[in-house]
Chains A and B, each alone.
Chain A
């Protein structure tokens, strides 16, 4: 007892450093928070500071020599920043924890490598992938369908969920489905019931449907629920890659879904294909579908709602926002799924994509087999196969920010015999743009759907995401630029060119372990999506000059502690114990 007393007394005299609870220091989810806003509400790093930005460091994202079976080089993941550590998967399938202050590696873990004995998409192109952070753990859906949680501090696997849980038993001989864009999502988490919610996005094989969403117990790693996204046995569609939103208070998740397949030949899938191209609300604890809003019935253009789904709160009214690949932005009542408003970007060119206009026309052709049926000649579709919005949108300052682009595609529809096919003769042609290429960034009033301002970019298709923070909008460009605009006015305040390797992921903003604000930018993270080939990737850190702005948090304790204090406290404790004992004896004698 005395030893415990003395030990605790020692630490009472030397309290742990108290940190100001400031979640803005960290960027812990692909979309910053559970609501997938891509908006960090910090304001220290702002419009006054941006012009002074200096490079802190740069490090490579192909940090291991390609050997020992890790020959497949993929796109990097997005980056997360938590408690001064950056987490990222590099292009050789290594998951890293890197100090945000100086890029030193704290730990690294090799993710899955090629293995002929099990199914995986490791040897297929991967265009992007996500990480997530929950419960002091970094979460990865690996390319073999396994889900692993790595301890954020030391990299030890804390939870390992085998591939069969997410993807079922797939034959090792199965081949990954040949799709135009393969993006692997990260799980999200329902805190109250400790459920992992995972998407099979990008993992499907040719011969099997993975058209469902799964809820998995964090504690037992068993499936709690599995919700099918198809209504007939032969139907196939891919869930979106998100990041999806979760309302922790109400226990509701909001997801997006991809197009049904075969994408361009619907000969064998007449009808609306109910849950395809949809925004769906589900009960987080049971997986029960609460409502479904289908944006694009009977899609024959490959326009999914695969990007992020934002849960916004405007004047006390919860609203769900998502931009689908057809270029429309949808605002839905979070409670009912009813349409609040939609936005049809005026600069987006539309051709041979009539069903995509359903929100405007309220009509669609449920039986049209392909775009120019009955002709079998090649045909151009606009938006093209990457859509008019291909990645994430952002919400901040009651404004929705969306990047739209024109990049039409020539489609040569082929006959199909199975649902796993795409219905395209030569998929490689899809990556070539037909006609003018340009982009427009829109800032839209989140309440009304009206345009506040826009920015036009000629000759490039802005396929990357958006970050909003400190009154600024950050836009990565395939031309290698990071553009920064005033979030309120659209004025171009800063621009950084990273060369010809392209920038896809938008930056993340947070603080290093010292509390210094940093902008973390991945360069050439997804070269395949930009058609740039097998180049290396890089990670950059930027910050304002030292002393220009206050660090994010202050140390609330003296910076030095002397071990001799422990002995001092112990001596005082002994004296007090003896004194107390003496007093007790004295009082007893007196009484």
Chain B
């Protein structure tokens, strides 16, 4: 057999090998993903809820997630009264604020109201 013939066989073998590797990888990862059922499920957004608008400076991943989840009427991980007021809005009389100095926003009574309250 000539060198050209050997080379052709080697190339065909290489192509078949790469194809097999691709299929095995794809099937393996798919099986892994489908079996990995521990991740969070999210409820679809409500049919007449306002579209989520990502504010300037919001990380892309957070923006992408909130576009899927904010407006479904359920408190999903990563949502707070600041970034998703529709699902985590404050009851009447409370305001949304960052009182811990960290990144967590919660509903609380206005500071002035507490100071002026009966308890002083």
Contact = CB atoms under 8 A, between A and B. Distances in A.
Interface string B86-114: 10011111110000000000000000110
B103 to A, nearest CB: 17
A105 B90 contact: yes
A94 to B, nearest CB: 11
Interface in B38-75: 39-53, 55, 67-68, 71, 73
Contact of A567 (B19, B23, B29, B48): B29
A557 B44 contact: yes
A105 B92 contact: yes
Contact of A84 (B15, B44, B48, B112): B48
Contact of B47 (A14, A19, A85, A103): A19
Given A67-B112, A514-B47, A514-B73, A107 B15 contact: no
A152 interface: yes
Interface in B12-32: 15, 18-19, 21-23, 25-30, 32
A343 B22 CA distance: 81
A552 interface: yes
B34 interface: yes
A511 to B, nearest CB: 5
Contacts of B112: 67-68
Contacts of A567: 29, 32-33, 36
Q: How large is the interface on B (under 10, 10 to 19, 20 to 34, 35 or more residues)?
A: 35 or more
A153 B92 contact: no
A568 B34 contact: yes
B26 A560 contact: no
Contacts of B68: 14, 561
A105 B28 CA distance: 47
Interface of A: 14, 16-17, 19, 25, 59-60, 63, 65, 67-68, 82-85, 97, 99, 101, 103-108, 136, 151-154, 156, 511-515, 551-555, 557-565, 567-568, 570-572, 574-576, 578-579, 581-582, 585-586, 589
Contacts of B2: none
Contacts of A136: 53
B22 A579 contact: yes
B44 A555 contact: yes
26 contacts: A17-B45, A19-B48, A59-B92, A83-B50, A84-B46, A85-B50, A152-B50, A153-B85, A156-B55, A512-B48, A513-B47, A555-B47, A561-B41, A562-B39, A572-B26, A574-B22, A575-B23, A575-B25, A575-B26, A575-B27, A575-B30, A578-B21, A579-B19, A579-B23, A585-B18, A589-B11
A59 B15 CA distance: 70
A578 B113 CA distance: 63
Nearest to B82: A154
B95 to A, nearest CB: 7
Given A561-B42, A578-B18, 8 more contacts: A16-B67, A83-B49, A84-B49, A151-B53, A552-B47, A560-B44, A564-B34, A571-B33
B106 to A, nearest CB: 14
B43 A560 contact: yes
